[in-house]
Amino acid sequence: MKRVLKIDEWFHPDGFPISVERRDPQEDFEPHAHEFAELVIVTGGKCLHVTGNESWELAAGDVFVIAGLREHEYRDLVDLRLVNILYQPNPLKLRLLDLPSVAGYHALFTLEPSRNIRQPTKGRLHLAAKELAHVIEFADRLDTELKAREPGFGFMATALFMQIIGFLSRCYGRNPSPDGRALLRIGEAMSHLERNIHREVDLDELAAIAHMSKRSFLRVFQSATGTSPLAWVIEKRIARARHLLRQTDRRVTEIAFDVGFNDSNYFTRQFRKVTGISPREYRQRQG
């Protein structure tokens, strides 16, 4: 049975859902999976990274994300040095604001960690020297906040982590490798959905953006997200509706139209399907 790294072994007892682990150098470590997600930044050396049936060489500047219970290991280590940023996506509950409109965000944090899609195995995200120095500076500051744990560290650490995510998402889109460009195109389709969340889903348009056939696009999207484009959009709309129900006293019908539903009854049915309760019940429970 593969080893699974547990949350209570790798995070502070106070429960804060971000941790930084430096490996300078990385020593031999058995194949393993995690109960959390891991953002890996290669700061020096090289190795062969193995996950599932895939393997590829790592070198300084490479960045990737391992999520869920996906098993991986490092082989043939040569002075490999890493900064691992561990995080728990659900407890963290980041407000991403407009970040999902950046195609590189979807490529790096949604598509690459998916264990079910056919992915390129070389050159997903490789930072130039200045970019690597910049993200290491962010990681150093994050590590300092987490070690000191002064009052307000949670806010500061979360802000630094968000800067890292935003910076890497932008980097992905600036100079994508030939292999990484395929994922970036799918990310562009997902970003298009984010920017046009109120519009009806046009599968032909999305497939054209991704440079794929409609059938292939649907297969890859389903494998990466676990759902269809339409269901994905509905979940995004419901998330926005939940925010408006919590933060405003606007009528449910108004909110339904604001988040992209043309029928308030259909909105209520979809809201109940996602949350288990009606919009009015949801608002009452928040009060």
Inter-residue contact 229 to 193 (CB < 8 Å)? yes
Task: Report yes or no: 147 and 74 within 8 Å, Cβ to Cβ.
Answer: no
190-231 residue pLDDT tens: 899 888 888 888 999 999 999 899 998 898 888 778 889 999
287 three-state secondary structure: coil
Distances from the Cα of 262 to the Cαs of 16, 200, 203, 255, 279, in angstroms?
A: 40, 10, 19, 11, 16
Integer Cα distance of 70 and 32 in angstroms = 8
pLDDT tens by residue, 147-167 = 999 999 999 999 999 999 999
Residue 1 scores a pLDDT above 60 = no
Quickly count: other Cβ atoms within 10 Å of residue 92's Cβ.
Answer: 15
Strand partners, 81: 44
pLDDT of the residue at 173: 78
- Token pair, residue 231, equals 């269901």
pLDDT bracket for residue 14 (50, 70, 90):
very high
Check residue 226 and give its pLDDT: 82
Query: 51 forms bridges with which residues in the sheet?
Result: 54
Whether 118 has a pLDDT exceeding 60, the answer reads no
Give the model confidence (pLDDT) of 155-198 as tens digits: 999 999 999 999 999 998 776 666 667 778 888 998 998 888 88
| Amino acid making up residue 21 | E
> Can you tell me which residue has the tokens 């990466």?
224
At residue 56, φ and ψ (nearest 5 deg) are: -155, 155
pLDDT in tens, 20-66: 999 999 988 889 999 999 999 999 999 999 887 788 899 999 999 99
Instruction: Compute the average pLDDT of residues 6-11.
Output: 95
pLDDT score, position 177: 65
Q: Is the dihedral of CA 252, 256, 258, 263 positive or negative?
A: negative
- Left, alpha or beta for 231 (phi > 0: left; psi -120 to 50: alpha)? alpha
pLDDT at 37: 94
Percentage of the chain beyond pLDDT 70 is 94
Secondary-structure breakdown of the chain: helix, strand, coil percentages, each rounded to the nearest 5: 50, 20, 30
First-last CA distance in the chain: 47
In this prediction, residues 121-146 reach a mean pLDDT of 89
Contacts of 205 (CB under 8 A, 6+ apart): 192
Q: What is the mean pLDDT of the chain?
A: 89
Give the dihedral of Cα atoms 173, 177, 180, 181; nearest 10 deg: 70
Look at residue 121 in the predicted model and tell me its pLDDT: 47
Within a 10 A sphere around the Cβ of 222, how many other Cβ atoms? 16
pLDDT value at 123 more than 70: no
- Strand, coil or helix: 264: helix
Phi-psi region of 97 (alpha: psi -120 to 50; beta: other; left: phi over 0): left
pLDDT tens digits along 60-103: 999 999 987 888 999 999 999 999 999 998 877 778 888 888 88
Query: Which residues neighbour 284 within 8 Å (Cβ) at sequence distance 6 or greater?
Result: none
What's the confidence (pLDDT) of residue 120? 45
Q: How many CA atoms lie within 13 A of 20 on its CB side?
A: 22
Tokens standing for residue 280: 């009015």
Distances (CA, A) of 86 to 54, 74, 90, 139, 201: 22, 17, 13, 12, 35
